[in-house]
Structure 1
Amino acid sequence: MTAFDDLMAFQRQTEALSSVAERLGWDQETVMPRGAVEQRSEEMAAIETLLHERRTDPRLGEWLASAQPRSQTDARTIELIARDYGRASRIPARLATELARLTSLAQSVWADARAADAPDDFLPVLDQVLMLKREEAAALADGGDLYDALLDDYEPGMTGARIASLFDAMRPRLVALRENILGAENQPAALTGHFPQETQLRLARACATAFGYDWTRGRLDLAVHPFSSGCWQDSRITTRVVETDPFNCLYSTIHEVGHSSYELGIDDDYAFTPLGRGVSMGVHESQSRIYENQMGRGRAFSGWLFQRMSDAFGGLNIPDADAFHATVNRVTPGFIRTEADEVQYNLHIMLRFDLERDLISGRLDSEDLLEAWNARFLKDFGVAVDRPANGLLQDVHWAVGLFGYFPTYALGNVYAGCLHDSLRQAVPDLDTSLAQGDASPAVEWLRENIQRHGGALPPRQLMENATGQPITPEPLLTYLEIKFGEIYGL
Structure 2
Amino acid sequence: MTAYDDLMAFQRETEALAQVAGRLGWDQETVMPRGAAPQRGEEMAAMESVLHARRVDPRIADWLTAIEPSNLDDVGRANLRHIKRDHDRAARVPAELAARIARVTSAAQGTWAEARAADDFAAFAPTLDEVIALKREEGAALAEGRGIGIYDAMLEDYEPGTAAADLEAMFGALRPKLSELRAAVREAEAPPVLEGVFDEAAQMALTSKLARHFGYDLTTGRIDKAVHPFSSGSGLDVRITTRTNALDPFNCFYSTVHEVGHAAYEQGIDSAYLLTPLGRGVSMGVHESQSRIYENQIGRSRAFTGWLFGEMKDAFGDFGVADEDTFYRIVNRVSDGFIRTEADELQYNLHVLLRFDLERALMSGDLQVSDLEAAWNDRFEADFGYKVDRPSNGVLQDVHWSVGLLGYFPTYTLGNVYAGCLHEAMRVALPDLDADLARGDTSAATGWLRNNVQKHGGLYAPREVIAKACGQEPGEAPLLAYLEKKFAQIYDI
* TM-score category (smaller protein): over 0.9
Q: Which moved more, 1:103-112 or 1:130-139?
A: 103-112
Question: Superposition pairs for residues 19-418 of structure 1, below 5 Å?
Answer: 19-69=19-69, 70-143=72-145, 144-184=148-188, 186-418=189-421
Q: Which moved more, 1:305-314 or 1:457-466?
A: 305-314
Corresponding letter in the other structure for 1:171: R
1:427 aligns with 2:430: yes
Corresponding letter in the other structure for 1:59: R
3-state DSSP of counterpart to 1:207: helix
1:487 matched to which residue of 2? 490
Q: Which moved more, 1:191-200 or 1:227-236?
A: 191-200
3-state DSSP of counterpart to 1:226: coil
The answer to whether the 8 A contact 1:107-1:396 is kept is: yes
The answer to whether the 8 A contact 1:4-1:68 is kept is: no
Cα distance per residue 1:378-422 (max 9 Å; x no partner): 001001001111111110000000000000000000000000011
Corresponding letter in the other structure for 1:166: M
Q: Which runs of 5+ in 1 are unaligned?
A: none
* Cα separation, 2, equivalents of 1:112 and 1:320: 42
**Deviation at 1:197?**
1.3
* Cα separation, 1, equivalents of 2:306 and 2:118: 38
* Cα separation, 1, equivalents of 2:439 and 2:244: 25
* Cα separation, 2, equivalents of 1:230 and 1:470: 29
* Cα separation, 1, equivalents of 2:74 and 2:485: 42
2:3 matched to which residue of 1? 3
Corresponding letter in the other structure for 2:108: A
* Cα separation, 1, equivalents of 2:129 and 2:225: 28
* Cα separation, 1, equivalents of 2:20 and 2:45: 13
**Deviation at 1:311?**
2.1
3-state DSSP of counterpart to 2:440: coil
Q: Which runs of 5+ in 2 are unaligned?
A: none
Aligned residues: 489
Cα distance per residue 1:176-195 (max 9 Å; x no partner): 100000001x2100101111
**Deviation at 1:333?**
1.9
For normalisation by structure 1, the TM-score amounts to 0.99
* Cα separation, 2, equivalents of 1:205 and 1:437: 14
* Cα separation, 2, equivalents of 1:417 and 1:44: 37
Corresponding letter in the other structure for 2:149: D
* Cα separation, 2, equivalents of 1:117 and 1:391: 10
3-state DSSP of counterpart to 2:474: coil
Instruction: Please report the RMSD computed on the Cα atoms of aligned residues, expressed in angstroms.
Output: 0.8
Percent of aligned pairs with the same amino acid: 61
* Cα separation, 1, equivalents of 2:370 and 2:163: 27
Q: Which moved more, 1:355-364 or 1:434-443?
A: 434-443
Corresponding letter in the other structure for 2:129: D
3-state DSSP of counterpart to 1:219: strand
For normalisation by structure 2, the TM-score amounts to 0.98
**Deviation at 1:68?**
2.9
Corresponding letter in the other structure for 1:167: F
Cα distance per residue 1:272-310 (max 9 Å; x no partner): 111111000000000000000000000011111111112
* Cα separation, 2, equivalents of 1:126 and 1:55: 27
- 4+ residue stretches of structure 1 with deviation over 4 A? none
**Deviation at 1:317?**
2.1
* Cα separation, 1, equivalents of 2:111 and 2:318: 40
Cα distance per residue 1:340-359 (max 9 Å; x no partner): 01111010010000000000
Corresponding letter in the other structure for 1:104: S
3-state DSSP of counterpart to 2:233: strand
* Cα separation, 2, equivalents of 1:2 and 1:90: 27
